[in-house]
């Protein structure tokens, strides 16, 4: 049943020279679950019918000369139903008692066994072969002169015999011959449908590929030329297919590759004023070269793909969000650093940013990137101290599939590749293992990388900005950091001062952070209540610590709007403080101006801090410090 269902999709046609053959064929076809097209015609008329039905037909069946006429007219397979010696014997048997000499007309070739038929029926058979109707007519005239009275052959031979006054007997194909031909036609149809299906898929693949593809044969003639190649070379396939490749494709070297057998990979080629990247590879079969396949890609399309990749990188988060205007400061030294960093942004050289943790090194790195010509490229940041040493190499340089246990089958690009045309920010560069320092130096020198487990060089166009909270020069002296890498990384330097050295920024940043957390701040009252307390802090965690403190303060202010005032709340969230305990204060002093000045600075900081905590209650501060109220006034006269 399944075979019958499959046969329903097969489209066969029979163009028979005589009706009886069509009847037999139709009956056998029905048994096989087929619905064939059937027509009665011969020679030229049959060829005309075949042309009309060709688009909707898998295989056409016919007989003898008519089959050859059809083959010359159409492109679909044509199966010729054979005339067997048994068919000839059956025809002779029907006339053996009334015929003297018999003329036997067969298409193009003599039939095997004709002499045995002669002996079997004791008749004389004169055999004639023909390739056209004119040859049949000529043969019949010659046979008549030799005493032939009966002609055995096809429909045309029978008709011409009658016209010449002879008896004509049609030689019919037996049912077995028709069935064998039908079976052959079904097989051919299935093969053809499979081939057409493969060809359709292959054509879709070729048509959908954005790369141009050209394939040549042993004579260097073009056999495949896809639509992308038509666009690239601006020539239609009709002008290229079947011609010598060197005659139709400019600057081609496909014929040279065929002669040398040497592949040419990723070679630039100039075509119509543009540049394309091409690869030419010999095609081998059983050790013999049978052609060349070439792929062509427009460089502008490659650049477009890079833009798409850059967008994907942006979507992955490899983007710098901060600019110089985001760096808030009232400190002259910081303002000078911003101007210097903006100047560095105009170059492509490496920059090293030094500063304590939390001072804003990445903020400067992102701002430099966004002010540079690489601003549309990716900004890839990695903390060299946060990734284990055995993983850091594969993260930075990527790896090929199967490079190590647990590696992805398809491999993975490293951060240097992802940062192509952009900036890579290496935070805590001082923690980079020595084993990777040499590889990083090569990236800086050669602008190329090799994946872990790989065997090919990948060029990269990147700018490196590094950051450290260590003294790199000291690490070089100690032998923990390569001096050549240090000088390569430190073409330009920025040293960001800690928050304690730019007191004027503390209150400015604190107010800004509170507003980010949707806290309404009256700057005048905040300056009076919070600024002394904030300025008295040492802030070892710098801006990051200040941010965290303001986040905690904003939470208290939203949850307890009448909780004892901002100073009391700040006291609860300041480092080293706790509810019900006085603040522990760290004070940095300068002794280069003498002990008296240093002592004065310490006293001033302590009194200011306690005044801020206790709402300028001098009596309370005097009581805590066990000094007189007048002393508080004298030590800090501005309060």
Is the domain of 489 the same as that of 428?
Answer: yes
For the domain that residue 122 is a member of, what is the CATH number? Answer: 3.40.50.10660
Is the domain of 23 the same as that of 58?
Answer: yes
Q: Radius of gyration (Cα) for the chain, nearest Å?
A: 48
Is the domain of 442 the same as that of 408?
Answer: yes
Measured distance CA(579)–CA(563) in Å, rounded: 12
Is the domain of 375 the same as that of 466?
Answer: yes
Count structural domains, the chain. 5
Is the domain of 250 the same as that of 163?
Answer: no
Is the domain of 407 the same as that of 394?
Answer: yes
Contact 510, 546 (CB under 8 A): yes
Choose among 470, 489, 463: nearest CA to 354. Answer: 470
Task: State yes or no: pLDDT of 554 exceeds 80.
Answer: yes
Exposure pattern of 287-305 as b/e (b: 16+ CB <10 Å)? eeeebbbbbbbbeeeeeee
Contact 320, 369 (CB under 8 A): yes
pLDDT category, 345, cuts 50, 70, 90? very high
Given 301, 325, 359, the domain boundary residue is: 301
Given 301, 336, 362, the domain boundary residue is: 301
pTM of the predicted structure, to 2 decimals: 0.49
Is 307 part of a structural domain of the chain? no
Supply the pLDDT for residue 578.
Answer: 40
Measured distance CA(474)–CA(470) in Å, rounded: 8
Supply the pLDDT for residue 608.
Answer: 75
Is 198 part of a structural domain of the chain? no
Q: What percent of the chain has pLDDT over 90?
A: 31
Supply the pLDDT for residue 384.
Answer: 87
For the domain that residue 415 is a member of, what is the CATH number? Answer: 3.40.50.300
Measured distance CA(174)–CA(21) in Å, rounded: 8
Cα 25 to Cα 18, 78, 177, 429, 572, distances in angstroms: 11, 15, 10, 86, 103
| Own/partner long-range contacts of 232-239 (Cβ < 8 Å, ≥24 apart) | 232/271, 232/276, 232/296, 232/298, 233/271, 233/272, 233/296, 234/272
Residue range 566-590: average pLDDT? 60
Is the domain of 67 the same as that of 156?
Answer: no
Is the domain of 491 the same as that of 529?
Answer: no
Task: State yes or no: pLDDT of 148 exceeds 60.
Answer: yes
Task: State yes or no: pLDDT of 311 exceeds 60.
Answer: no
Is the domain of 158 the same as that of 185?
Answer: no
Is the domain of 330 the same as that of 475?
Answer: yes
Task: State yes or no: pLDDT of 581 exceeds 50.
Answer: no
Given 457, 475, 497, the domain boundary residue is: 497
Is 458 part of a structural domain of the chain? yes
Task: State yes or no: pLDDT of 338 exceeds 90.
Answer: yes
Measured distance CA(372)–CA(360) in Å, rounded: 19
pLDDT category, 249, cuts 50, 70, 90? confident
Is 310 part of a structural domain of the chain? no
Is the domain of 443 the same as that of 410?
Answer: yes
Average pLDDT over the chain reads 84
For the domain that residue 7 is a member of, what is the CATH number? Answer: 3.40.50.2300
Supply the pLDDT for residue 2.
Answer: 46
pLDDT tens-digit series, residues 130-147:
888 899 999 999 999 999
Q: Please list the residues that pair with 78 across neighbouring strands.
A: 60
Is the domain of 555 the same as that of 444?
Answer: no
Full residue range of the structural domain in which residue 121 is found: 85-170
Task: State yes or no: pLDDT of 233 exceeds 80.
Answer: yes
Is 426 part of a structural domain of the chain? yes
Task: State yes or no: pLDDT of 362 exceeds 90.
Answer: yes
Supply the pLDDT for residue 105.
Answer: 92
* Lowest-confidence pick of 209-218, 404-413, 513-522, 577-586: 577-586
Supply the pLDDT for residue 173.
Answer: 87
Is 200 part of a structural domain of the chain? no
Cα 515 to Cα 17, 37, 39, 518, 567, distances in angstroms: 98, 85, 91, 5, 17
Helix (H, G, I), strand (E, B) or coil at 540: coil
Task: State yes or no: pLDDT of 9 exceeds 90.
Answer: no
* Lowest-confidence pick of 73-77, 80-84, 229-233, 591-595: 591-595
Mark residue 331 as left, alpha or beta (left: phi above 0; alpha: psi -120 to 50; beta: remaining): beta
pLDDT tens-digit series, residues 396-412:
888 887 666 556 667 78
């Amino acid at each position: 049943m399944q075979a019958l269902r499959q046969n329903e999709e097969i489209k066969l046609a029979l163009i028979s020279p005589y009706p009886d053959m069509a009847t037999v064929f139709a009956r056998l076809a029905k048994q096989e679950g087929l619905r064939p097209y059937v027509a009665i015609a011969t020679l030229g008329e049959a060829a005309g019918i075949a042309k009309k039905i060709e688009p909707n037909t898998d295989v056409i069946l016919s007989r003898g000369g008519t089959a050859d006429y059809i083959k010359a007219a159409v492109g679909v397979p044509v199966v010729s139903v054979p005339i067997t010696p048994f068919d000839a014997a059956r025809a002779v048997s029907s006339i053996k008692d009334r015929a003297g000499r018999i003329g036997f007309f067969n298409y193009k070739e003599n039939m095997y066994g004709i002499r045995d038929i002669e002996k079997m029926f004791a008749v004389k058979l004169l055999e004639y072969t023909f390739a056209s109707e004119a040859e049949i007519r000529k043969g019949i005239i010659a046979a008549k002169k030799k005493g032939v009275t009966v002609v055995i052959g096809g429909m045309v031979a029978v008709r011409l015999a009658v016209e010449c006054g002879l008896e004509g007997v049609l030689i019919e194909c037996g049912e077995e011959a028709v069935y064998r031909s039908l079976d052959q036609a079904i097989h051919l149809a299935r093969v053809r449908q499979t081939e057409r299906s493969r060809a359709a898929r292959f054509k879709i693949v070729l048509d959908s590929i954005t790369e141009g593809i050209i394939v040549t044969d042993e004579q260097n003639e073009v056999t495949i030329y896809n639509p992308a190649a038509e666009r690239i070379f601006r020539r239609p396939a009709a002008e290229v297919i079947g011609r010598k490749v060197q005659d139709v494709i400019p600057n081609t070297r496909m014929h040279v590759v065929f002669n040398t057998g040497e592949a040419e990979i990723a070679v630039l080629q100039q075509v119509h004023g543009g540049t394309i990247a091409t690869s030419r590879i010999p095609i081998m079969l059983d050790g013999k070269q049978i052609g060349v396949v070439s792929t062509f890609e427009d460089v502008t399309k490659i650049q477009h793909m890079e833009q798409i990749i850059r967008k994907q990188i942006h979507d992955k988060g490899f983007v710098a969000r901060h600019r110089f205007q985001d760096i808030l400061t009232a400190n002259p030294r910081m303002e000078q650093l911003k101007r210097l960093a903006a100047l560095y942004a105009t170059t492509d050289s490496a920059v090293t940013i030094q500063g304590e943790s939390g001072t804003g090194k990445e903020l400067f790195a992102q701002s430099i990137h966004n002010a540079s010509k690489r601003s549309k490229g990716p900004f890839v940041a990695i903390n060299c101290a946060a990734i284990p040493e055995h993983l850091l190499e594969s993260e930075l340089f990527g790896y090929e599939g199967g490079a190590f246990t647990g590696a992805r089958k398809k491999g993975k690009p490293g951060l240097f590749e992802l940062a192509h045309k952009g900036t890579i920010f290496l935070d805590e560069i001082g923690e980079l293992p020595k084993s990777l320092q040499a590889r990083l130096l090569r990236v800086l020198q050669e602008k190329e990388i090799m994946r872990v487990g790989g065997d090919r060089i990948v060029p990269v166009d990147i700018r490196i900005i590094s950051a450290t909270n260590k003294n790199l020069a000291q690490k070089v002296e100690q032998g923990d950091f390569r001096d050549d890498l240090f000088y390569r990384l430190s073409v330009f330097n920025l040293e960001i001062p800690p928050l304690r050295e730019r007191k004027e920024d503390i209150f400015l940043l604190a107010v800004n952070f509170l507003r980010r957390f949707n806290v309404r701040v009256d700057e005048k009252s905040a300056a009076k209540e919070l600024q002394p307390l904030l300025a008295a802090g040492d802030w070892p965690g710098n801006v990051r610590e200040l941010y965290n403190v303001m986040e905690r303060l904003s939470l208290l202010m939203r949850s307890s709007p009448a909780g004892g005032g901002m100073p009391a709340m700040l006291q609860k969230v300041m480092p080293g403080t706790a509810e019900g305990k006085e603040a522990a204060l760290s004070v940095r002093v300068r002794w280069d101006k003498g002990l008296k000045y240093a002592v004065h600075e310490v006293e001033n900081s302590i009194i200011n801090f306690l005044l801020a905590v206790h709402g300028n209650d001098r009596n309370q501060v005097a009581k805590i410090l066990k000094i007189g109220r007048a002393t508080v006034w004298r030590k800090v006269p501005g309060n």
